[in-house]
A and B are shown apart, each in its own frame.
Chain A
Amino acid sequence: MGSIRWIWGYIRNYKRRFFLGLFMALVVAGLNMVNPWLSGRIIDEVIYGKQENLLLPFLGVMIGITLIRTVVRYSYQLVFETVSQNSIFKIRENLYDRLQHLDFSFYDKTKTGDIMARMTGDMEAVRHFTAWTIYMIFENATILLLAVGFMFYIHPPLALCMLAVAPAIGFFAYRLANTVRPTFSAIREQFSRLNSVVQENISGNRVVKAFAREDYEMEKFSVQNEAFKQRSLDSARVWERFLPVLDSLAGTLTVVMIFAGGIMVINGSLTFGELVTFNSLIWALNNPMRMAGWLINDVQRFIASAEKIEDLLRVEPCIKNLPNSKKIDELKGVVEFNSVGFSYGDEKVLKNISFRAKPGETVGIIGPTGAGKSTLINLLSRFYDTDTGEVRVDGINVKQWEIQKLRSNMATVMQDIFLFSDTIEGNIAYGVPDATVEEVIDAAKKAEAHEFILEMPEQYDTIVGERGVGLSGGQRQRIALARALLKDPSILILDDTTSSVDMETELKIQKTLKSILMEKTCFIIAHRISSVKEADLILVMEDGKIIEQGTHSELLAKKGYYHHVYQNQFGNFENQHSQEGVS
């Protein structure tokens, strides 16, 4: 019932149309009875009664009624389709909205294929229910009730005899509903798994090919494909058990009618004419009962899918705006970390991090892989919340900022470059959709991307693929950098942004950045000393802690980790220099 209430919440917005549709369905159910009746009249009055002048009027009514009936039926089918499409549109919109606002921790643990399954297959089941199943149930229930009422009106005892079958039908229908539901849930889940396998195979197609793992992938896929088949067959096995029983039970109505009715006629408690009327009404009992099994199937299928969608709609992001969040349009860029601690599950990723940066300053972060560098800046944009301590921007805890305001003042180039399947221009303008072409080009120039873009077949209009395939790693990084620069943020965060860019280009970029960054706070995560050595503050991280901090020369003087890394990167050159000198 929960799912029904849920979908009603959407259909309710189109209440008028919905009830108009139901009313039209009622009219059609009534009109359905007219033609058989007219046929009888033609035979009785025109053929046997020889009133041939009545033929044309009768036929005229018959044609007219059919026309009206089909037009009304067509209209209400469209009405239900409209209501259904509008409701689905709304559900999809809500889902999408939810997906847009769910935080990283949700995406860290949810497979793309699963979400896709919600948005496609499950949505289809809901659509089918709202567009078809609802009015079919209504139509059949109306016809059934009309017929039962009519039968009771004519002859209650015989009607009661026929209804004796009802409890049995009810029992099996109930059993079917309960037995089939888990099989539908199982199908939905298997559908998700199948979706995920295919999805990953497509996204990872390069790795698959590189390792010539096509056969292995086929195997992996076959397992899920077979399982999907099996789950569908499990479901079919349930139908196989119940649907024939329900169908036959519906058929027994006729048997009851001839047998009980016949005996009643023989007894004289029922007239012959009444029995004939019962006979002509029997389809109105039979058909709905035959349909019952299929409709129950549809309803259960709907519930299985609706529950999955509801679950997704119910997921709450952990990162949310507080009721009185600060909505300041422009922030200055003072960043403070006060004894910040953070863990993913049980794993402590950041321990007691404290530092401070002012506008115009650049903070370099360096340290081994997995030291917590990216996590640190993720806390700054509030992609995750701190466990202990606080992150302040302009003196205000980031938890008190309105997230959108906070993030609109920051621009991040993530380590993992993602470009959208859009033109290069569209990608650069991602954060500022109404930017002019000149602004886009200007940003591209600053990121040293302009030149290679001009060499592309359609320049700024070249469409790049989802992961930016078709571009080299360094080219993607520079487009992502342009995307961030175009935003002109107060805080700029570069997470390993130039790792795939050659040194020469990097130098040029650094020069440009220096002039842009006058008023901004900038965070640079890097592995090359050359990328961070100009920073006003360098944080050296290891194992979730800041183990050294200071400027380049201070850190060198410390002769600690930083010095060691410097030696490794620069020492080589020094040796070479001396060799050069010798040779």
Chain B
Amino acid sequence: MARNKFDVDEELESPFNPQHFKRMLTYIAPYRNRIIITVILMLVASGANLIGPFLIKQAIDTEIPDGDVSGLTLLAGIYLAALIVTGICMKFRIRIMSEIGQSIIKAIRKDLFENLQKLSFSFYDSRPHGKILVRVVNYVNSLSDLLSNGIINLITDLFSIAVIVGFMLAIDVKLTLYAMAGFPVLAGIIFIIKNAQRRAWQKLSNKQSNLNAYIHESINGIKITQAFVREEENKQIFEEVSDSYRGSWMKAVRIQFLLWPSIENISVLTVSLVYIVGISSIANGGVTVGSLVAFIGYIWMFWAPLANIGNFYNAIINAMAYLERIFETIDEKPEVVSDPNAAELKPIKGKVTFDDVTFAYEEGSPILKNVSIDVKPGETVALVGATGSGKTTIVSLLSRFYNVTDGQIKIDGVDISTVTIPSLRKQMGIMLQDPFIFSGTIMDNIRYGRLDATDEEVIEAAKTVQAHDFISSLKDGYETEVNERGTRLSSGQRQLISFARALLADPKILVLDEATSSIDTETELAMQKGMEHLLEGRTSFIIAHRLSTIQNADKILFIDNGKIIEEGTHTELLARKGPYYKLYRSQSHSLAAG
């Protein structure tokens, strides 16, 4: 599993793919009708706009020379009416398109977020979180204008071009062909620019992602930074990251800005060509003066929508860099998925069986080797062993955070890979080694374990884990606002909250991964007393280093290097005088030595 850090660009795994564009259209498709309405509105508006020049011509040619004031008033009136129509069309266009644009954004963001919920730990473990964040929020935002106004402009511009070319053809076919001579040149230039631009924007989006990842990590690690007086060093790194973002931005715009001048220069060359050809054919009598004048007028008009399309194209290319990232994330396959035929796991009793389980995060270096465990409902199992021996991995497999490489895990005789994941996890209460606190009140944080729990139940759970006293001593009690970094809560307090959360879930299987490592012995003992009756009827897995925490367990598993090397009750294991005995001696010795 290759991990990514802030200054490493993420390789995009799929090549450029027109499918992305098609796929984007599928987000737009539901709004097809409304888009058609808007296009019609736009056509009406441009129709109303076209009346303008005609009215002026009419006034200058007829009404004014004739001194016809009432006729002039009429023309002015018509013009005003046309303006009002244009205004109304514009109003509806803004209304409809912003609605559509925002709805599409919302839908893409939702798909992205939804898939993120399905992705396994390894996805999150293998890249800085800032890089994920920027995809969901910033990348999606940068699509919004493109998807709303961009599309409409494209359609109206294409329509204008068609009309203009139609007029040109009607005037003179040969001149039209000359006028189109610039087209292949433009296409060639666009092709060259496109490739360079796509690469430049991909690079840019990488640099942006790196920058954000670094900022994100700097914020989260601020305490360490300040404790180690790393501020200046970090500033330098930040400047480098920020500078390489600036550099790739400038490179990208240098390419992007080339498009417009190319179009203008090609257009002026085409116009010149048409002048030369046109004027010589006037001499031959092929073209009339009037039609040449009109024709030139149309060529100028022709390039404006073309330039707009060019800009749209620019925007699409830029957006592609983002779209690729977004779709890549939406398509990311979670490693752990419910089997398509998976059944709901029925309410369980809590019998747990590990049948010859082997597991490796990375092929070839197994973390667990042939682990077999049998736990009866209601039993308490303690896992002991050195750090990194695989204790956390065992309980992670039980919740199916990872799939076993080999062997089977069964709950009540049912292989957990054959049941739906939510139905499995909802029956387990897990307290992770790293207690995470969400921003919100303490009440909300505990209730996270069971959303429909009443306040009383939350308080009951807090009391059981001995968290009630400290919570009530806070000024706002259970309504105290806390956040991710755990404002004002000590690690032990966070563990207590996270413990209460697990307990509130009222699970049949309770997993406590170093639930009390930062909790003082007094509290722990009080907690144990309160929990005794709570643990009744629940199967529980306890990982701890303080042997005092675990010696009452029904079964102690001594894990070493991914294997269970000893198994039994505290007394049995002591009698065996094996590794557990040694561990126990060293602990008691270290205490007794004082």
Contact = CB atoms under 8 A, between A and B. Distances in A.
Contact of A194 (B137, B439, B483): B137
Given A200-B438, A415-B490, A100 B116 contact: no
A368 B523 contact: yes
A252 B81 CA distance: 10
B448 interface: yes
B229 A431 contact: yes
**Residue of B73, B130, B276, B421 ringed by the most chain A CB atoms within 10 A:** B130
A276 B289 CA distance: 21
A421 B128 contact: yes
A457 to B, nearest CB: 6
A175 interface: no
Contact of B250 (A81, A209, A501): A81
A179 to B, nearest CB: 14
B219 A115 contact: yes
B102 interface: yes
Contact of A414 (B227, B392, B501, B520): B227
Interface stretch (A235-243, A301-309, A351-359): A235-243
Contacts of A211: 425-426, 430, 448-449, 501, 505
B228 A487 contact: yes
Interface in B526-556: 545-548, 551
A430 B226 CA distance: 11
A404 B79 CA distance: 72
Nearest to A66: B268
A233 B98 contact: yes
Contacts of B491: 374, 415-416, 496
**Residue of B133, B282, B487, B520 ringed by the most chain A CB atoms within 10 A:** B520
A276 B130 CA distance: 60
A338 interface: no
A530 B496 contact: no
B28 to A, nearest CB: 16
A313 interface: no
A232 B59 contact: no
A389 B586 CA distance: 42
A488 interface: no
Contacts of B215: 96, 115-116, 119
A96 B238 contact: yes
A475 B437 CA distance: 22
Contact of B94 (A232, A239, A430): A239
Contact of A530 (B138, B141, B220, B587): B587
A467 interface: yes
Contacts of B451: 213, 216
Interface stretch (B183-191, B383-391, B410-418, B455-463): B383-391
Contacts of B381: none
Interface string B234-276: 1100110011001001100110011011001100110110011
A573 B79 contact: no
A546 interface: no
B11 to A, nearest CB: 15
B269 A568 contact: no
A286 to B, nearest CB: 10
Nearest to B594: A533
A248 B425 contact: no
Shortest 6 CB-CB contacts between residues of A and residues of B: A474-B387, A369-B492, A236-B98, A70-B261, A431-B228, A573-B588
Given A112-B216, A195-B137, 9 more contacts: A48-B289, A81-B249, A86-B246, A108-B487, A236-B94, A272-B60, A501-B387, A505-B386, A580-B574
28 contacts: A47-B279, A74-B261, A85-B249, A96-B242, A100-B226, A115-B215, A199-B133, A201-B113, A201-B117, A202-B116, A207-B436, A209-B121, A210-B425, A212-B421, A218-B110, A254-B79, A258-B55, A344-B488, A465-B128, A466-B129, A502-B583, A527-B517, A527-B519, A566-B591, A568-B525, A572-B548, A576-B551, A580-B574
